[in-house]
Structure 1
Amino acid sequence: MMRFSLPIRFGIATSGSLVGYFLLLSLVDLHTNIFYSLFNGVITGFGIYEAIKYRKLELMEDFNYGIGFKTGVITGFVATLIFTLFFAVYAEEIAPEFLKQLSASWFSNYQSFEAIVFFTVAIMGFATTLVLTLAFMQLFKASRNLK
């Protein structure tokens, strides 16, 4: 469990940042504009980057690509799962009119629009996690170049 505590901790912190950003957007009534969700990638990327960086500082010479990749993926998946759960609760319980506003401005004629939205939120988070983890590991991996 010790090796999973760091990415879980960073995943929880990242999801807290995502929730805070979403609630901030909802305060100024911008949460129905999907373009603002692009900043979620920046927030998730920062959390993943910091988790990998911290793991590398923690392990020093024992750090390798597999450990860094695992750290990034777990961090992003934890953040995505928690944020998706929050998003589902928000959309169904806290502000039931949110999905109606979202669907009026973007989509029409879907039978289970809620499920499509929640699935999209989760897939966007997972895809962002994989892509950013692969990108950041290029910065943190040990170089095999001769000097």
Structure 2
Amino acid sequence: MAELVPFTVPTERDKTLLVWELSSGPTAEALHRSLFAVFSQFGLVYSVRVFPNAAVAGPGFYAVIKFYSAKDAHRAQMACDQKQLFQKSPVKVCLGTRHKAVQHPSLPLNSSRCQELANYYFGFNGWSKRIIKDHYHSL
């Protein structure tokens, strides 16, 4: 079954992964790069955000990863949960959040994100923003 991927900022729970038990050794920036490299293998990633754990949770980090596609997010969750990925200990990967998400209005993607999404799914390189007039109808 085909999935509709709208040209909007992904806010749905089924497109969001929560990754925790990330090591405290690397910097947040290094973790961001590693997470992006791993999860982008499953599909086009909209964002990767890395946060330090709360003080009560101990040292380390957690991350929120948003995909454009719910299918890609699900495949990534299934493949990466309880795996070591890029560190010695396994990470936990959960699809969506446990609490009821607040409904956000759909925000359109900016033009560079639209171009990135179109290039990824349609395989074209360099979409044009110009409007091309059909010369046959002008005759």
TM-score range, shorter chain: under 0.3
Report the TM-score, using the length of structure 2 for normalisation. 0.27
Higher relative contact order structure (alpha carbons within 8 Å, sequence separation ≥ 6): 1
Report the TM-score, using the length of structure 1 for normalisation. 0.26
Answer 1 or 2: which has greater helix percent: 1
